[in-house]
Amino acid sequence: MVSVGIVGGTGYTGVELLRLLAAHPEARVTVITSRAEAGRRVDDLYPNLRGHCELAFSDPASAELTACDIVFFATPHNVAMHSVPDLIAADTRVIDLSADYRIRDAQLWSQWYGEPHASPDLLSKAVYGLPELNRDAIAGAQLVACAGCYPTSIQLGFLPLLEAGVVDTVNLIASAASGVSGAGRQAKVDNLLSEVSDSFKAYGVSGHRHLPEIEQGLSAVAGESVSVTFVPHLLPMVRGIHATLYAQLTRTDVDLQGLFAERYADEPFVDVLETGTYPQTRTVRGTNRVQISVEQPQGRNTVVVMVTEDNLVKGASGQAIQAMNLMLGMPETLGLTQIGLLP
Ligand SMILES: NC(=O)C1=CN([C@@H]2O[C@H](COP(=O)(O)OP(=O)(O)OC[C@H]3O[C@@H](n4cnc5c(N)ncnc54)[C@H](OP(=O)(O)O)[C@@H]3O)[C@@H](O)[C@H]2O)C=CC1
Ligand SMILES: CC(=O)N[C@@H](CCC(=O)OP(=O)(O)O)C(=O)O
């Protein structure tokens, strides 16, 4: 049995880790932290876990994290980078759900995240956590930087096109919308029901911090510098991301459906839908699955890819557990075979 520590256990990705790990046959959470809730029972704050979690929150400053086999950071950006070096030095494996180790260039990272990186030496040691892209590297990693929620859906949608070299790499467009849980659990006026419901808006159009992460990943796939126009939106719902991606074909003879079906044929968590069937957020809700469809409207030059995911599962905690399974040599799908919640 693998012992798991979670730093940041009161947030949405923290409680999602607890929900998913409760169904994992080979992992047991032994430490879970919160500064605000230290001493309180987890199932008192989260009654959905009654009967599944006997732990109380502990303060991160005194938590015995090095006694764990693996530690998840479900903390805001700019937190993990201060504590991870000690865990790495103690040979503990770490999976960071935040963006602290996602960008390889420390200067670029601080440009987008607003302060100097506290442990830049670890950036080259960290492995980017998107198993469909680099499964083998994750399996051998001590530190995994889980892909962000929008970057997961957008990279998986563009991946087959860029690997096959059939689209213009300077003209990629990603219009994506997220449910409000993507913004985390802390109180903010912008996320109140009365601000969000019955409305739909774009945000971060001039530059969102996921842009360098998306371009870094896709450039590595394409073998050249790619340029993406990324426009995120806030959807008046709790969970889910829907990304609509646009690219210009550079060839006319591409079997797009075949390309996507073949690329993801062996991927347990990527489901390519039949032509004419479009993914919905609700069919992947609560699951580690991404659903994708691809179209070439009117046979014209623009390819349109639609991707849905649950931002808290494949976009965060499920993907983190998928990485844990790989790192520990366990079957990749262990504990992650939930079916979507309908309606
Ligand atoms: N929500 C989403 O859909 C996704 C989130 N992520 C990323 O995962 C991370 C967590 O997100 P989310 O769960 O939404 O965040 P929340 O804001 O909901 O939760 C943050 C958690 O971190 C703890 N925390 C905050 N500051 C510190 C600190 N300085 N030291 C230790 N613990 C701290 C908080 O508890 P306390 O303050 O009591 O210690 C809380 O438990 C973020 O980096 C986020 O960007 C990634 C993909 C998707
Ligand atoms: C709706 C909403 O606000 N979403 C967040 C992104 C989600 C997130 O936490 O980002 P990471 O994947 O990088 O961790 C945002 O746009 O900042």
**Position 229 in a domain:** yes
3-state SS, residue 96: strand
pLDDT for the residue 38: 97
Residue 202 reports pLDDT greater than 90: yes
Span from the CA of 232 to the centroid of ligand 2 (angstroms) = 10
Do 195 and 241 fall into the same domain?
A: yes
Residue 85 sits in a domain whose CATH number is 3.40.50.720
Side-chain-facing half-sphere of 263: CA atoms under 13 Å? 23
Domain count along the chain: 2
Do 165 and 306 fall into the same domain?
A: yes
Tell me what the mean pLDDT of segment 93-105 comes to: 98
Given 125, 160, 195, the domain boundary residue is 125
Whole-Å CA distances, 75 to 33, 49, 56, 252: 10, 20, 18, 46
**Position 248 in a domain:** yes
Do 166 and 214 fall into the same domain?
A: yes
Do 191 and 262 fall into the same domain?
A: yes
Residue 252 reports pLDDT greater than 90: no
What is the extent of the structural domain holding 289? 150-311
Tell me what the mean pLDDT of segment 124-135 comes to: 97
pLDDT for the residue 151: 98
The C-alpha atoms of residue 189 and residue 180 are separated, in whole angstroms, by 12
Catalytic residue status for 68: no
Neighbours of 329 (CB within 10 A): 7
- Please give the share of the chain, as a percent, with pLDDT higher than 90: 99
Sign of CA dihedral 306, 278, 16, 156: negative
pLDDT for the residue 246: 98
Residue 299 sits in a domain whose CATH number is 3.30.360.10
pLDDT for the residue 167: 98
The C-alpha atoms of residue 95 and residue 73 are separated, in whole angstroms, by 6
Do 73 and 186 fall into the same domain?
A: no
**Position 166 in a domain:** yes
**What's the token pair of residue 71?**
């530690």
**Position 334 in a domain:** no
**Position 319 in a domain:** no
pLDDT in tens, 56-94: 999 999 999 999 999 999 999 999 999 999 999 999 999
Span from the CA of 182 to the centroid of ligand 2 (angstroms) = 5
Q: Which one, of 5, 31, 52, 14, lies nearest residue 185 by Cα? A: 14
Reported confidence tier of residue 343, pLDDT bands at 50, 70, 90: confident
Peptide bond into 76 cis (omega under 30): no
pTM: 0.97
Tell me what the mean pLDDT of segment 5-24 comes to: 97
36 lines ligand 1 (CB under 6 A): yes
Do 169 and 268 fall into the same domain?
A: yes
Q: Which one, of 320, 134, 109, 72, lies nearest residue 210 by Cα? A: 109
Given 125, 141, 164, the domain boundary residue is 125
Angle subtended at Cα 135 by Cα 137 and Cα 319, rounded to the nearest 5 degrees = 115
Do 287 and 210 fall into the same domain?
A: yes
Tell me what the mean pLDDT of segment 206-228 comes to: 97
pLDDT in tens, 145-195: 999 999 999 999 999 999 999 999 999 999 999 999 999 999 999 999 999
CB burial of residue 36 (10 Å; 0-12, 13-18, 19+): exposed
Give one DSSP letter per residue of 182-235, joined into a string.
GG-SS--GGGSHHHHTT--EE--TT--THHHHHHHHHHHHHTS---EEEEEEE-
Span from the CA of 215 to the centroid of ligand 2 (angstroms) = 16
311 lines ligand 1 (CB under 6 A): yes
- Please give the share of the chain, as a percent, with pLDDT higher than 70: 100
**Position 40 in a domain:** yes
Tell me what the mean pLDDT of segment 222-228 comes to: 98
Do 107 and 193 fall into the same domain?
A: no
Tell me what the mean pLDDT of segment 2-19 comes to: 97
**Position 322 in a domain:** no
Identify whether the C-beta of residue 263 lies closer than 8 Å to the C-beta of residue 294: no
Do 106 and 212 fall into the same domain?
A: no
Q: Which ligand is nearest to the CA of 237?
A: 2
- CA torsion, ordered 324, 309, 183, 238, to nearest 10 deg: -120
Residue 222 reports pLDDT greater than 90: yes
The C-alpha atoms of residue 138 and residue 93 are separated, in whole angstroms, by 11
User: Which atom from ligand 2 is nearest to the alpha carbon of 151?
Assistant: 12
Do 161 and 204 fall into the same domain?
A: yes
Do 159 and 261 fall into the same domain?
A: yes
**Position 290 in a domain:** yes
Do 120 and 161 fall into the same domain?
A: no
Given 91, 125, 159, the domain boundary residue is 125
